Structure 1
Amino acid sequence: MPDLLPILTSLAWPIALALAWLAGEFGQRWTGLPRISFYGLAGFALGSAQIGVLPAPDAGPVALLADIAFGLILFELGYRFNLRWLRHNPWLGVAGLAESLLTFVLVYLVALAFGSPQLVALMMAALSMGTSPATVVRIINEQRSSGQVTERVLHLTAQNCVLAVFAFNAIVGFWIFRTFDAVGEALWQSLVGLAGSALVGALFGMAVPALLRAIRNPRRDGTVAFALATMLLVALCDAGTLSPYIATLAFGLTARHRRVAFSQAQRNFGPLGEVLTVLLFVYAASTLDWRQVAAGAALALSVVLVRQLAKTGAVTAFAHLSGVSWRKGALTGLGLAPLSVFVILLIEHARHAGVHVVEELRAMAAVTMLLEVFGPLIIQRTLVWARESSANAPEASHAA
């Protein structure tokens, strides 16, 4: 008889993805919770530290596919980012900067209060600045929502992700140099890496629309071209020292302003995007260890609460100046709750770069698990409360 172990190992990921997809479909039908919450729960349960169906995470092809899935989502987020809106309404950008900085300061102080080492507290604070584009874009598309709160959440998500990547890379650089004399060098290298990643993404954003115009049928061929270009861009960044997240965000942003249509039907990149979304959330949750989640539970709960207060409070404070009511400002801040996938992928990149301090970020594992389940639910309910979700339509017709 052939050895069954290699066969079962090769089947682990296909089986896990099928189980996660089924969990998402039936879970959403029975509970009304977003499908991605169940993808995350399935990935966590099947992870190597739990049931053990999935192998331990490494820098292999599955990690690259997860980066590609995240890159496709960031491309779409960048495509929906309107620079002209920020120019006409600079207070929205100020609100994003304020909520990111306030989050950094408060999470840093909370981590120190719990006895975390200074560098670990800094890394936790940097990671907490961000919002997970994977969750935000997925739920907005799933709810088919549109309106002021939706657009503000998208724009602030893109902005604080850039800030979080910059801060995290600077702190990782500082950790590698291990000296306060190298702070300037770490900041400079992070800034150069950020600029280089954005430049490469912008070049793709100019080249692909030009290619589509040469083909003379951009609407039909756009989805495939953008998907293949995103895959190539992520692979190039992965092979080098650039950030695939900043590059794909810049790719989408530049492509939007080259005026190539990316229609409603193409969002999520069709079936390809759906499959990769399942893989992304399963992979992200499978990297977590229940022992780290349990060890960091108390600090995690404090970080989640402080982070949400900082984001909601800062965005609400600038609500009137940026042209919306206090209520819509508060809902926008609440919609920035998701964090999970963004944090996990940044930590995995740091670990693969040899920064083993990530093993000390136990609280972030617990934060991630909490927001893996509740983050999608929070933004789903936020869109419903803002009356921008398609879920409001049945309610309206029933009330009529």
Structure 2
Amino acid sequence: MLNSIQLFGMVLLGGLAAGELARRVAALPRTTGYVLFGLLTGQSGLGWIDPLHIESAQLFIDLALGLILFELGYLVPRTPLQVGLKRLATGTLVALSTGLGVLLLLLYWGFTAGDALFAAALLLATSPAITIATCSDVGARGEKSGLLYTLVAINGCIAFAAIALMTPFLDQTIQASPLLRLAEALGSIAGSLGIGVGGAALVLLGARRLEKQPEHQHLLILGGIVFGVGTAIYLDTSVFLPMLIFGFLVRALDREQKVVAIRIASDARVFLVITFVLAGAALDIAYLRDYWLEALGIALCRFLAQWLPCSAAARQIGLTQREALFMGIGLQPMSSVALVLLANTQMLYAGLDPQLTGILLAAILLMQLFGPLTTQTAIKGFGEASRLMPPPTATAPQGGTPS
């Protein structure tokens, strides 16, 4: 039986090896290898990582997801106001279309309106971790990759805000009027905004004092994230929304580019490996065996609901129809944050339909496995996967052979 420190080392070393095998042997994203290693060592495989290990690592998981969401917000590129508004409108349309499509599908399957509404909010977010890690691995560079980050960030904001609004209404153990529940939900969102603004102010002021010293600035940012996550937990509010706001505001307000931000895919890869391996370990492949058809139905519904708005708004956001198709493909990865939110909601709301829980877990597992591949496909389709492009061939000298 491994102790906690040995287990931590096993997760890092095994995840590293599995990621490299996935990349070098099967030409798959490293993140797919991380998830497969988690499945192998978790409850679906050898059972070395059990639910108690995952529960004991919850604080680390919260910090890792906080760092990932900070970076997602930071990766949203600055654009002129008119361009930014068009992207915001498109991202909002994509999120609402996805939520509505999944809601109608679940209602058609016979689930209650409350359960279906919660599940729809859970499933509209695109995975920031898969997007960041896969884009880093393939060397994504370009305007379309920046647009993908923007749409993923908008999806996340809307999903987290919707879940924050619904959470107080799910708790049936507390007797409170709808007005009080709504006030609690709005207070949670306001608290998230306050934490995000406060963290951004701290980092921007600190960066001015520290100048461009990466090691000190990284410590400043990591400290801000840790304090922000701790404050969110203390206030019993969302950990995820404030970190996304935090990262976005740091990038948007850093006009003089004084901040040297952490790059989780390079500076803190350990957080990505741990997140994906533990996500894989927490999922039971039996759910995919039992609900594979429903999971495929949700995946198809999400794809259509995300691709069609991108296609309709292609000209406004600077895409061709081919690029809009790849943008829809790139938005497919389902957020591992959904797994954390689902676990928290199950504890809060024991009345969630067990069949719906199984379908959600099957869909999450499906997109944990295939989501990295869809992101890689999208970046290659944009022509922005710099690390997957063949090296330039040497050109023959012109003018014939010298005598």
Same fold per TM (> 0.5)?
Answer: yes
TM-score (norm 1): 0.89
More helix by share: 1
In structure 2, the CA distance between the partners of 1:351 and 1:398, relative to structure 1 (3 Å rule), is: farther
**Deviations 1:33-61 (Å, cap 9, x if unpaired)?**
01111111111222235421112157844
The match for 1:69 among 43, 64, 67 is 64
Separation in 2, partners of 1:34, 1:392: 11
Deviation at 1:189, TM superposition (A): 3.0
Residue 286 of structure 2 corresponds to 291
Whether contact under 8 Å (1:340, 1:368) holds in the other structure is: yes
Which amino acid in structure 2 is aligned with residue 70 of structure 1?
L
Residue 382 of structure 1 corresponds to 378
Which amino acid in structure 2 is aligned with residue 363 of structure 1?
I
**Deviations 1:239-258 (Å, cap 9, x if unpaired)?**
33121211111211222213
Whether contact under 8 Å (1:237, 1:244) holds in the other structure is: yes
Separation in 1, partners of 2:127, 2:100: 20
Whether contact under 8 Å (1:59, 1:352) holds in the other structure is: no
Deviation at 1:152, TM superposition (A): 1.0
Whether contact under 8 Å (2:323, 2:381) holds in the other structure is: no
TM-score (norm 2): 0.88
Residue 249 of structure 1 corresponds to 244
SS in 2 for 1:241: coil
Separation in 2, partners of 1:44, 1:258: 41
The match for 2:317 among 318, 322, 335 is 322
Residue 208 of structure 2 corresponds to 213
Say whether 1:103 aligns with 2:87: no
Which amino acid in structure 1 is aligned with residue 360 of structure 2?
M
- Overall identity of the aligned pairs, in %: 25
Say whether 1:361 aligns with 2:357: yes
Deviation at 1:28, TM superposition (A): 1.2
Which amino acid in structure 1 is aligned with residue 378 of structure 2?
T
Residue 94 of structure 1 corresponds to 89
Separation in 1, partners of 2:185, 2:63: 22
The match for 1:240 among 222, 235, 239 is 235
Runs of at least 5 residues in structure 1 that lack an aligned partner in the other structure? none
Whether contact under 8 Å (2:329, 2:378) holds in the other structure is: yes
Whether contact under 8 Å (1:114, 1:299) holds in the other structure is: no
SS in 2 for 1:319: coil
Deviation at 1:202, TM superposition (A): 1.1
Deviation at 1:215, TM superposition (A): 3.1
Whether contact under 8 Å (2:306, 2:331) holds in the other structure is: yes
Runs of at least 5 residues in structure 2 that lack an aligned partner in the other structure? 397-403
Deviation at 1:115, TM superposition (A): 2.6
The match for 2:366 among 344, 365, 370 is 370
Which amino acid in structure 1 is aligned with residue 299 of structure 2?
V
Residue 78 of structure 1 corresponds to 73
Between structure 1 and structure 2, the one with the greater Rg is 2
Whether contact under 8 Å (2:334, 2:364) holds in the other structure is: yes
Q: Does 345-354 or 327-336 show the bigger shift?
A: 345-354
Please report the RMSD computed on the Cα atoms of aligned residues, expressed in angstroms: 2.7
Q: How many residues align?
A: 392
**Deviations 1:256-282 (Å, cap 9, x if unpaired)?**
213454558x522645x1111110011
Whether contact under 8 Å (1:69, 1:277) holds in the other structure is: yes
